[in-house]
Amino acid sequence: QPPDIEAEQARLLWADAVIFQFPLWWFSMPAIMKGWIERVYACGFAYGVGEHSDQHWGDRYGEGTLAGKRAMLTVT
């Protein structure tokens, strides 16, 4: 990852909670926020296939890097 993306990911790991507030834009979030989420919440950081073995087949909900973190969306 580029250094600026790694810095953003480090901020997410540091935070106890993240609040996203944005206006509804064509039934979605604004393009700049969508781009940020796509780059920062990248495969291997926010999600991925995880470890595979006879007892464990990939990461499930609540098992990844951000397990235990909280987020809230407010859409206007």
CATH number at residue 39: 3.40.50.360
17-52: b (≥16 Cβ within 10 Å) or e = eeeeeeeeeeeebeeeeeeeeeebeeeebeeeeeee
Instruction: Specify the number of domains making up the chain.
Output: 1
Q: Summarize pLDDT for 10-68 with one digit per residue, the tens.
A: 999 999 999 999 999 899 999 999 999 999 999 888 877 667 777 776 666 666 788 88
pLDDT of residue 20: 94
pLDDT of residue 32: 94
Q: Report if pTM > 0.85.
A: no
What domain range includes position 50?
Answer: 3-75
pLDDT of residue 1: 85
Q: Summarize pLDDT for 52-71 with one digit per residue, the tens.
A: 777 776 666 666 788 888 99
Whether 9 and 61 have beta carbons less than 8 Å apart is answered as no
